[in-house]
Chain A
Amino acid sequence: DTGVSQNPRHKITKRGQNVTFRCDPISEHNRLYWYRQTLGQGPEFLTYFQNEAQLEKSRLLSDRFSAERPKGSFSTLEIQRTEQGDSAMYLCASSDYRGPATNEKLFFGSGTQLSVL
């Protein structure tokens, strides 16, 4: 168990560029979540997958954001035409989900810090 891995750790980009982040969850974890966090705030839910199926996207999520988990293992989050307001820490978390009555514990990666200039 190597934990949740995210890369890159930092990304600096110019406004209007596209960026892609990668998350490798804990092996065998069936759920994978993307969150966004800005300074002084708690994590804000973006989307999540169960295996390869994307089960929910936040209504606050712009169409410029897209996420995939093609084989039910790693996931990518792409932001198209980045804006300065997209600057944030993007966190990935995974869990071994066993059903609604169970305690689903999230394990987070170290995040990707995005700065849009």
Chain B
Amino acid sequence: GEDVEQSLFLSVREGDSSVINCTYTDSSSTYLYWYKQEPGAGLQLLTYIFSNMDMKQDQRLTVLLNKKDKHLSLRIADTQTGDSAIYFCAERLYAGNNRKLIWGLGTSLAVNP
């Protein structure tokens, strides 16, 4: 079946790196996304990776994809208090249609000063 799993909570100290993990079950993923949601707000697209890539770097963000293990991670370097939010992993299945975005439950990141 289609499922995306994430750990629910992560706590880090300001300045450290954060690594948020995600596993998915469907091997027909085309794109995988990371969204950020701050309290009471909508979702902000942070970054994405195409399924034939294994790494993508964008400033402080590094996405790693292990397609064999169906594992995706988001590393935030030099984590700041403004990074405190819920991070959602989502996979787009090969359906040509974004209704097939499968979402995780989100990882709540707490950054302690």
Chain A interface (Cβ < 8 Å from any Cβ of B): 4, 6, 31, 33, 40-43, 45, 48, 56, 91, 93, 95, 97, 99-101, 103-111, 113
Q: Which residues of A contact B48 (CB under 8 A)?
A: 103, 105
User: What is the bound-complex CA distance between A41 and B92, given in angstroms?
Assistant: 18
**Interface residues contributed by chain B, number (CB under 8 Å):** 25
**Residues of B86-113 contacting chain A, CB below 8 A:** 88, 90, 92, 95-99, 101, 103-106
Q: DSSP class of B's interface residues: helix, strand, loop or mixed?
A: strand
Pick the contact of A106: B4, B40, B45, B105 (CB < 8 A): B45
* B99 and A108 contacting across the interface, CB-CB below 8 Å: no
Q: Distance in Å from the Cβ of A89 to the closest Cβ of chain B?
A: 8
B42 lies within 8 A of A56 (CB): no
Do B106 and A56 touch (CB < 8 A)?
no
Report the bound CA distance from A68 to B76 in whole Å. 39
The answer to whether B98 touches A48, judged by C-beta atoms less than 8 angstroms apart, is yes
Contact A41 B105 (CB under 8 A): yes
Q: Is the CB of A43 within 8 A of B98?
A: no
What mask results when residues 65 to 77 of chain B are scored 1 for a CB within 8 Å of chain A, else 0?
0000000000000
